[in-house]
């Protein structure tokens, strides 16, 4: 029987050294391939008898992971497309990294952080979607798609870059504190946030 180990790369970013260490750990259990998921994460399918050995290696490396669960969906971003597909924008590597550094928690809802002028990353597939403003540097549109619904709510104000992490955490806490109101409810109301 196989199990899947999921390793999130927040924002689609992983250092070459960390990726190398993960692959060395995978080689120790004779794993021949890994795959990438739709939310910019690494998916590793292992025989059940190898999971304990592999996850012990990940623990020693200090790498967060999940086995056969999806409690913490990865934060995705358009950062991997920066300088390749996206030009002439205020959104730089430094801005992305500042945001990711400020998000010092593992969100339990899907979070997307995207440039408004790109097609690399689907913008509204998250539950909390931050879309860079095309007219105001360091300001973001917030579009919420309530979990397990197609109900979309656009926040009526722009949010400053430095507030994204705290706003994300607050919105997630409100959604999780009232699941009947916001999760799997086609009548969810953004005004109640």
Alpha-carbon distances, residue 15 vs 46, 78, 115 (angstroms): 23, 17, 22
For range 58-83, the mean pLDDT: 92
For range 164-171, the mean pLDDT: 98
Handedness of CA 139, 147, 39, 53 (dihedral sign): positive
Residue that is written with structure tokens 């050294």 in the block: 17
Q: Which two tokens stand for residue 109?
A: 């809802």
pLDDT digits (tens, 9 = 90+) for 91-136: 888 999 999 999 999 999 999 999 888 777 777 899 999 999 999 9
For range 165-173, the mean pLDDT: 98
pLDDT digits (tens, 9 = 90+) for 78-87: 888 776 665 6
Overall CATH class of domain 2-67:
alpha beta
Residue that is written with structure tokens 């795959």 in the block: 35
Overall CATH class of domain 75-192:
alpha beta
pLDDT at 72: 97
Q: Where are the domains of the chain?
A: 2-67, 75-192
Neighbours of 158 (CB within 10 A): 13
How is the chain split among helix, strand and coil, in percent rounded to 5? 35, 25, 40
Q: What is the mean pLDDT of the chain?
A: 93
Q: Angle at CA 80, nearest 5°, toward 66 and 64?
A: 20
């Amino acid at each position: 029987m196989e199990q899947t180990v999921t390793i999130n790369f927040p924002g689609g970013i992983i250092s070459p050294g960390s990726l190398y260490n993960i692959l060395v750990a995978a080689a120790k259990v004779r794993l021949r391939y890994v795959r990438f998921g739709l939310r910019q994460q690494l998916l590793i399918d292992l025989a059940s008898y190898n999971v304990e050995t592999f996850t012990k290696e990940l623990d020693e490396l200090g790498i967060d992971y999940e086995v056969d669960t999806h409690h913490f969906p990865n934060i995705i971003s358009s950062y991997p497309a920066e300088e390749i597909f996206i030009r002439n924008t205020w959104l730089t590597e430094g801005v992305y990294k500042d945001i990711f550094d400020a998000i010092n928690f593992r969100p339990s809802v899907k979070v997307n952080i995207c440039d408004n002028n790109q097609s690399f990353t689907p913008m509204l597939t998250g539950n909390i979607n931050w879309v860079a403003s095309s007219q105001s540097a360091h300001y973001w549109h917030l579009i919420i798609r309530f979990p397990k619904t197609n109900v979309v709510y656009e926040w009526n104000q722009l949010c400053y870059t430095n507030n994204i992490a705290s706003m994300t955490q607050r919105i997630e806490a409100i959604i999780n504190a009232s699941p009947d109101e916001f999760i799997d409810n086609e009548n969810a109301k953004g005004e109640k946030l």
